[in-house]
Amino acid sequence: MRLDNTLNPRLRAPACAPAANDFSWPHAAAIAALGGAILFTGAPSKAHAQDDDKRIDTLGLHLTAGLDLLYDDNVYRVDDRVEDPTGDLIVTPSIEATYAHPIGRHDIQIRAKAGYDQFVSETQRSKLRLDAEAKATIRFGATCGITPRASYRQQRADYGDINAATENLQRFSTLGADLSCERPGFFPVAGYQHDTTRNADDFDYADQDSDSFKVGLGYNKPSFGTLTTYYERTVSDRRTLGIKNRINAYGLRFQRSVTPITQIDADLQWLDVSSDSAAVGSYNGMGWDVRLSTSIIPRVKLTASTARDIMNDSLIASGFAIRSSYRIEGEFAISELTSAGLYADWQRRKFRQDAALRPFSIEADRNRQFGATLKRKLTDRFDLSLDAQHYRRRTDTDVSNYSGTQVTLSALLRF
C-alpha cells in the first residue's frame, strides 16, 4: 500500500509514516528472519538474466532539458460561479540528469531534476521545484536483491487543498529499502520506508513522519503469473496536532500478462485504520489498486484503473482521508512518431477530522478531470507534447468549490 497526497490536478505527493516509540520488534524480527532465509535461496532463473539485459539501456550519464508552458485560467482555485478567476501563464524551464553505473552484478542509479515555476503575472507564486532520488540494487544468491533508496522533492502546494490564497512550499523525503527473491515457486518479500512531509509555518499542522513495515510471501509460475500475500503496518505521526494514525493492511497482489497484449495488476487489501482521536475514529474496509491494460485494438492502448487508499498527509484533514479514484485512458498511435490520447479521472475523498484539533468546513469532496494529449517525436532527441484538461471540484458543503482549464505545451531535449 502506498500513501500519497493529491496536491493539484497535475501533481501528486508521496507517502508518510510512524514514530520511534511505535517500533515493533516482532515486525522487525520477522523481516530479519526473511532476510536470513533469502541468503540461502538459490537456483538460477531466466528472469535474472533478463534484468541484467534491461540495465544496458539505462547505464551512463544522461541529460535532459525541458520547457513547459502552462496556461491555467484559475490559478487561485476560486469558485468561478461566484467570483472571477485569475488566469496566468506559468513558464517552467527544467534540467534533469540521470546516472546509472554497474558494479559487478550490482548497480546504482541517481536522478536529479530542477525546475523553476515562473508565473508571468502572479510573480509571488513563482517557486523552485526540486525532485531527486537515488537507489541501488544489491544482488546476491541466484535471484535475490535488496534495493535501498532515498528521495527528496519540494514544490508549491496547490490552492485547491489550502483553500486560501496563501503560499505553502512543501518538502517531502523518503528513505527505505525493499527485499525480494522473485523466482519460480515461493519467495519472500520485505520492506521498510520512512517518509516525512514538511510545510511552511502556517501549515505545520500537516507536518508528518511515517514509518511503514512490510513482510510477505510470493509465488511465481510463468503460466500463472505472480501472487503475493503480505502484511503492512504504517504509523503516521502528526506531532504539531499531537495525533497518530495507524494502518494495518492485509493484502493480496496478483500480476500477470494475460496475453502478450493484455496485462493485469490487482492489489486487494483489508484495511484496519485507527487514530489517537476518538472524534477521528477508525476505518475497517476494503482497499485496492487495480489496473488493466490492453492493446487488443491495433494501434490503440486502452487502460482502466481504480484504487482506494488512505491519505494521511492531507492539508485538509486533521486525521486522515479515505480516497477512492477511477481512471480510464486511451492512446492511439497515429504513426511511429505521433500519438494522441484521451483520459478521464474521478476522485472522491472523505475526511476524518477532529474539530478540537483544527476547525474544518469540509467533510468530503469530489474531483473530476477530463483531458486530451498529443505527442510528436520530432527527432531521436527532441519531443513535443500538448495536454489540455478541464478540472472541477465540488465539496459536500459547497465551500471551496472550483473549476478551470489547463493547457500545457512541453518540449523535451535529450543530450
Closest CA to 195 of 177, 179, 175: 175
Beta-bridged to residue 321, according to DSSP, are 311, 351
d(CA 74, CA 392): 11
Place of cell 525532485: 131
Return the exposure string of 332-364: e unless at least 16 CB atoms fall within 10 Å of the residue's CB, then b: ebeeeeebebebebebbbebbbbeebbebebee
Pure H helices in 192-300: none
User: Which pLDDT does position 57 carry in this prediction?
Assistant: 58
User: Which pLDDT does position 166 carry in this prediction?
Assistant: 82
How many Cβ atoms from other residues are within 10 Å of residue 389's Cβ?
A: 19
Distances (CA, A) of 248 to 147, 269, 283: 23, 10, 11
d(CA 312, CA 1): 13
CATH, domain range 5-242+336-346+354-414: 2.40.160
Question: What are the residue ranges spanned by the domains of the chain?
Answer: 5-242+336-346+354-414
What is the distance, to the nearest Å, from the Cα of residue 30 to the centroid of all Cα atoms in its chain? 27
pLDDT tens digit string along 66-107? 999 999 999 999 998 888 999 999 999 999 999 999 999 999
Q: Please provide the DSSP assignment of 27-57 as one string.
A: HHHHHHHHHHHHTT-----HHHHHHHHHHGG
pTM: 0.82
Give pLDDT tens digits along the chain (415 positions): 434 433 333 333 333 333 333 334 334 343 343 333 333 333 334 344 444 444 545 789 999 999 999 999 999 999 988 889 999 999 999 999 999 999 999 999 999 999 999 999 999 999 999 999 999 999 998 899 999 999 999 999 888 787 677 889 999 999 999 999 999 999 999 999 999 999 999 899 899 999 999 999 999 998 899 999 999 999 999 999 999 999 999 999 999 987 788 999 999 999 999 999 999 999 999 999 999 999 999 999 999 999 999 998 788 888 899 999 999 999 999 999 999 999 999 999 999 999 888 888 899 999 999 999 999 999 999 999 999 999 999 999 998 899 999 999 999 999 9
314 backbone dihedrals φ, ψ, rounded to 5°: -90, 140
d(CA 234, CA 238): 13
